[in-house]
Amino acid sequence: MEVHVVVAPVFGTNCCVVTAGSRHDDGTRDCVVVDVGAGAADGVARVVDEQRLRVRAVLATHGHVDHTWDAAAVCERYDAPMRLHAADVYRLADPFGTLGLAGGSGVSGALRQALAGLGLHPEDYRSPAVVEPFDTGGDNGGTTLHAGDVLLRAVHAPGHTEGSTLYLLQPSDQPGVVLAGDVLFAGSVGRTDLPGGDAALMQTTLRDVVGNLDPALAVVPGHGPATTVGRELSANPFLAGR
């Protein structure tokens, strides 16, 4: 298993290209792409070409548009479906409205400005043509997702959004990784003041989901530097003492 991180130029979203399995007869390996933020598609293509990969699915840790803007482009380029938690699928049809403050201020206003820096506008957004929702059934143990040779565990972690999800990659022969989206950052956690956010649910997620993860897991958050579960459990002010 390998995780290649492509940092999107808008809001610095960490887009992850995750490979697994042996090489096929044509020399390629399977991969999934997680959180394709605005401007990340070309970087994803470079990784796919250089590593000789087959994109089996495009995933999102949640439905915020800074994690899904280029998903349609990657899905189309590689004829791959989009997969995310069923509770966040509605956001794909109205990416700015579901962020709130769509008139030009707040989060959506900052996002519009960041997009404009790339010559993009809200009207340019396209939802992926094929969307395959999944549901973890409310079980903190999560559900196993298969995409070609890539196998990962999707664990529901609501609070930032209704469908926020952690993706756990735990191969038997090397240390594991959790793709945390905007649930957990190095030294911080996701905000809960946007539409669909829930501070009480976030506290439950931090206690019952993040708090029960293997401390040895590496963490690739939705934005910012990588960390480890153990480091955050001991030093993150939102988690220390849980």
241 falls within a domain: no
150 falls within a domain: yes
Query: pLDDT per residue over 124-160, tens digit each?
Result: 888 998 999 998 776 666 899 999 999 999 999 999 9
Sheet with 82-85, strands from edge to edge, namely 2-7, 14-20, 29-34, 53-59, 82-85, 131-134
For the chain, the domain total comes to 1
Size of the chain in residues: 242
40 falls within a domain: yes
Query: pLDDT per residue over 18-29, tens digit each?
Result: 998 899 999 999
**Which mean pLDDT values do the consecutive 10-residue runs of the chain (242 residues) have?**
93 95 92 96 97 97 94 97 96 84 57 77 85 81 90 96 95 86 97 93 95 95 97 91 60
Q: Any idea what the CATH number is for the domain that residue 174 is in?
A: 3.60.15.10
240 falls within a domain: no
56 falls within a domain: yes
201 falls within a domain: yes
**Domain encompassing residue 12:** 2-235
What is 130-163 written as a DSSP string? -EEEE--TT-TT-EEEEETTEEEEEEE--SSSTT
DSSP state of 238: T
242 falls within a domain: no
